[in-house]
Every structure is written in C-alpha cells, then in structure tokens.
C-alpha cells in the first residue's frame, strides 16, 4: 500500500497510532496545531511517558515518520482530537473534530478516507460531520469511517496490537480497506459495522466499566458503614463464575470513563437513571476520601492540614496523565472548604501543577504525618518500608500490613 496517511492530533491516542502505522511500513505524516509539540517530536522528544513508546518512536523515525502543523494532501486521514463534553448540558462538544474536518475538507483529494478515532456520542457523526461534507458538495468523494480507539493508558502499545477493533463505515468496501490498514499492526479481530453502531459500542464499553466501578465504590461505602472488608467481599464474590466486580477507589479519572457516560446522560436524560447514578457515585468518592481523612485526623488529634500528604496526582497507576484525576478533584473540594496547605507528591508527574507539590519523596515524607495513597504507582509498592512510620490511608488497597486505614 503506497497511500499516505495523515494522522491529525498527536496526543495520547494519535501519537502511538501514528508511530505504530509508521513502524508497520505505512507512509505517515503526523499533524498537530501545537507548534511546540511538533517541534519537540521532530527533535526526537516524546511528550508523555508510556511503556514501550520510546522504542516504537525510534522505529517510526527510522521508517521516515514526519511531524508538522500542516494538514497534508493524503489518501487516508486519521483523526484523534479530543471530544470533551459541555459542562451544563453534558452533551458532546464536537468543536475540535469540526475544525479538523473543515481543515481536511479544504485540501483533501477525491475519494480519500476520513477515519474518526475520537470518541463520538451515538449519532454525532450524522449530526455534526456529514453536514460539513455535504455543504462542500464532496459527499460522494470523502468517505467517513468511525474506528474508535480502545487502548488503555499504561498498556497502549500492547493493546494497539492485541485488542479487537470496530470499524463503522457506510460502504463495506471502504470498511474493508480500512480494516486492511489496521491489520498491518492489529493482530486481533477487526469487526466492520455501521457508523452509529461503532459510536455506540465505544460509549457502551466505557459506561459498562463506569457502572461496574460505581458498584464497587458503593459496596466500599456500605462496608465502611458496617465495618466489613470490601476487598475481601469482592475477592470472594468474584470466585463465582458469573461475577466480576471491579475495585473501589478514590474516584474515576482519565479522559474516557469519567466523560463518555455523560454523553448518554446528556442525550437521553429520561432513560439513563442507572448511568447517571453511577456517575454521581464515582464523582462522590473524593468526598468520601475527604471524610476518611477527617476521621483519621480526629482520632489522632491532628488539626494541622499541612501534615497531610496526598501520594499520586495521576488518575491511575504508572501513568503521568493527570486529566480528571481523583487527586485534583479532591484538592478542588478541599479548596472550596478553605482547606489549603495539603502536601502532594507524584513520582511520575515532574511538572509542578498544584501548590505544595514536592519533587522529592523523602522531603515529602519528612513534612507529613498522614499519607493518603491516591494512586497505586509501582513506586509506592517498592517503597513500603519508608512509609511504615506514618498514618496511612490507602484508597487503592496496596498496603497489606496492620494499622492501615482503608476507604
Ligand atoms: N478504576 C477504579 N477501579 C477499577 C478500575 C479503574 O477505580 O477497578 C479507576 C482508575 O483508577 C481510573 C479510572 O477508573 O481513575 C479509569 O481507568 P481505567 O484504567 O479503567 O480506564 P482508562 O480511562 O485509562 O481507559 C479506558 C479503557 N476502557 C475500558 O476499559 C472499557 C480504554 O480501553 C479506552 O480506550 C479508554 O478508556 C478510552 O480512551 O476511552
């Protein structure tokens, strides 16, 4: 295949995808509006850490991948720009997709293929994207495909190669062509369906996980009220062949699971009781953590908030991504209650993004009496001995010794 593929949006999804395609021998140009990002990628500097990404980057560079701010005249476009939700209506905000599609329409060749990997709420390609194409009279020439990404931060490279994929296309022949492109690196099943079903599948997957985590979080609250060990209950219940409860935690972060269910709530407010309740339960977890901190402070007569240290700013273990992180949600809630001065440390977050953020673990430990484990990085697992003298609130169930407070 000699086609040129232009990947638009070089973030958490677009970059690994572009690199993987280039590694597989496809001619790839990566485009992003962020000039600084393009410059640093062109100089060989990665913008985020991810297992296996450096090696993949090196292979893609050897194979000639290019980075630029310009959209290219290409045969295939892959769009991986963010799709946030509007705060009040909870509906998708498609502004980044719309502006990227308009830029593609300005230059694209006849019969090129536009693959949207960004998460779209069901029906939003019909609602927002088709009209843009039809308005230009290019309806016959630009083929839209929806191939939502499904990779998990922390294991992206493996999942790019091994997760099944879904391709939504109007024309099955175009679907087959796109399938061949992804099959250059994806070893798993690639299913072709229509565009609306592909949109819905993606949202359903993340909503399923959100609801399951909410169930675990609700169990954690019930077990706290009845003084039972939620982890033991879940461990035993999961031995049943048809039960698979996820783990409770300090909240749900990231740019996917805490966002996508809102699209369904925004579009179907009368039909989404379970999904809305799950979202509310997960969003309530930082407040639950706050109450647990208060309990511990009272029990130990600690009244100085600066003696508390939050370990972990990333939304989950072993990534440096802080988007919608439970720690940031907790800090926001503390701030609203004038609870300033809590200390924060994350070994993977090397940019200072909050006040009282430490860059050195030992300095952090020297300043605090209570450590709240918000993220289960491997780093804390290897350093258990160092925290044993502290009061510990472990919201991730990683400390397995006596005297540790849990959710
Ligand atoms: N979490 C829990 N308990 C659990 C599992 C997760 O509290 O048992 C929390 C995490 O700590 C984190 C949040 O949920 O704060 C989300 O983390 P995650 O690892 O479950 O998922 P993401 O957001 O990193 O990635 C998800 C994945 N979706 C599914 O597993 C269905 C990924 O495959 C998608 O590609 C990604 O969303 C996306 O981009 O949509």
Measured CA to CA, the distance from residue 371 to residue 365 in angstroms comes to 8
Ligand 1 pocket test, pick from 81, 150, 249, 256 with the greatest ligand atom count within 8 Å of Cβ, gives: 256
How far CA 120 is from CA of 3, 90, 125, in Å, comes to 26, 13, 7
> What does 81-98 look like in DSSP terms, one character per residue?
----B-TTT--B--HHHH
Distance of alpha carbon 120 from alpha carbon 200, whole angstroms = 8
CA 71 to chain centre: 26
CA distance 193 to 167: 6
C-alpha 213/C-alpha 257 separation (Å) is 10
Q: How far is the CA of 17 from the centre of ligand 1 (A)?
A: 19
**Annotated catalytic residue: which of 179, 202, 316, 343?**
202
The protein residue with its alpha carbon nearest to ligand 1, atom 13, reads 252
Query: Position of tokens 């998990």?
Result: 152
Which of 108, 104, 199 lies closest to 146 in space, CA to CA?
199
Active-site residue, selected from the candidate residues 177, 256, 307, 399: 256
Q: Is the dihedral of CA 117, 119, 120, 122 positive or negative?
A: positive
Helices first, then strands: H and E counts in the chain: 16, 14
Sequence-ordered alpha helix ranges (H) in 307-360: 326-336
User: Who lines ligand 1 at CB under 6 A?
Assistant: 119, 149-153, 205-206, 209, 213, 246-247, 249, 252-254, 256-257, 315-316
Which stretches of the chain drop beneath a pLDDT of 50?
Answer: 1
H or E element: which one contains 393? strand 391-394
Q: Is 108 a catalytic residue?
A: no
Which is the closest atom of ligand 1 to the Cα of 247?
Answer: 8
pLDDT number for residue 3: 79
202 labelled catalytic: yes
How far is Cα 289 from Cα 393, in angstroms, rounded to an integer? 9
Name which residue sits closest to atom 7 of ligand 1, judged by CA. Answer: 249
pLDDT at residue number 138: 62
- Nearest CA among 368, 365, 313, 303 for reference residue 339: 303
pLDDT value for 141: 75
pLDDT at 139: 58
Per-residue pLDDT, 152? 93
In the three-class reduction of DSSP (H, G, I as helix; E, B as strand; rest coil), residue 29 is classed as strand
Residue-level pLDDT at 86: 85
Bridge partners of 265, per DSSP, are none
- For the stretch 293-336, pLDDT in tens is 999 999 999 999 999 999 999 999 999 999 999 999 999 999 99
């Amino acid at each position: 295949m000699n086609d040129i593929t232009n990947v638009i949006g070089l973030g958490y999804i677009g970059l690994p995808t572009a690199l993987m395609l280039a590694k597989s021998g496809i001619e790839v140009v990566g485009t992003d509006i962020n000039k600084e990002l393009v410059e640093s990628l062109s100089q060989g500097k990665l913008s985020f850490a991810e297992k296996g990404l450096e090696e993949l980057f090196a292979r893609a560079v050897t194979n000639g991948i290019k980075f630029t701010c310009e959209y290219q005249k290409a045969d295939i476009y892959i769009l991986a720009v963010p799709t946030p939700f509007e705060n009040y209506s909870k509906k998708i905000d498609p502004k980044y997709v719309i502006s990227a599609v308009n830029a593609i329409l300005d230059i694209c060749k006849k019969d090129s293929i536009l693959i949207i990997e960004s998460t779209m709420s069901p029906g939003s390609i019909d609602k927002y994207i088709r009209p843009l194409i039809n308005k230009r009279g290019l309806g016959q020439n630009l083929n839209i495909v929806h191939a939502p990404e499904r990779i998990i931060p922390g294991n992206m490279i493996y999942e790019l190669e091994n997760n099944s994929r879904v391709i939504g296309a109007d024309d099955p022949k175009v679907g087959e062509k796109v399938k061949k492109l992804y099959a250059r690196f994806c070893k798993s099943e690639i299913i072709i369906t229509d565009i609306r079903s592909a949109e819905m599948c993606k949202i359903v997957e993340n909503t399923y996980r959100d609801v399951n985590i909410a169930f675990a979080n609700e169990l954690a609250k019930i077990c706290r009220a009845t003084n039972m060990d939620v982890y033991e209950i879940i461990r035993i219940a999961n031995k049943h062949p048809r039960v698979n409860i996820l783990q409770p935690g300090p909240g749900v972060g990231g740019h996917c699971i805490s966002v996508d269910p809102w699209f369904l709530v925004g579009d179907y407010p009368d039909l989404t009781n379970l999904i809305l309740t799950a979202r509310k339960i997960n969003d309530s977890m930082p407040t639950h953590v706050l109450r647990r901190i208060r309990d511990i402070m009272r029990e130990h007569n600690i009244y100085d908030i600066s003696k508390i240290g939050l370990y972990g700013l990333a939304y989950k273990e072993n990534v440096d991504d802080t988007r919608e992180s439970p720690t940031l949600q907790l800090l926001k809630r503390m701030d609203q209650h004038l609870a300033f001065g809590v200390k924060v440390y994350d070994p993977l977050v090397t940019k200072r993004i909050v006040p009282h953020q430490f860059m050195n673990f030992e300095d952090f430990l020297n300043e605090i009496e209570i450590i709240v484990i918000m993220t289960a990085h491997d780093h804390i697992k290897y350093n258990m001995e160092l925290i044993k003298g502290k009061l510990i609130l472990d919201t991730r169930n990683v400390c397995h010794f006596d005297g540790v407070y849990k959710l």
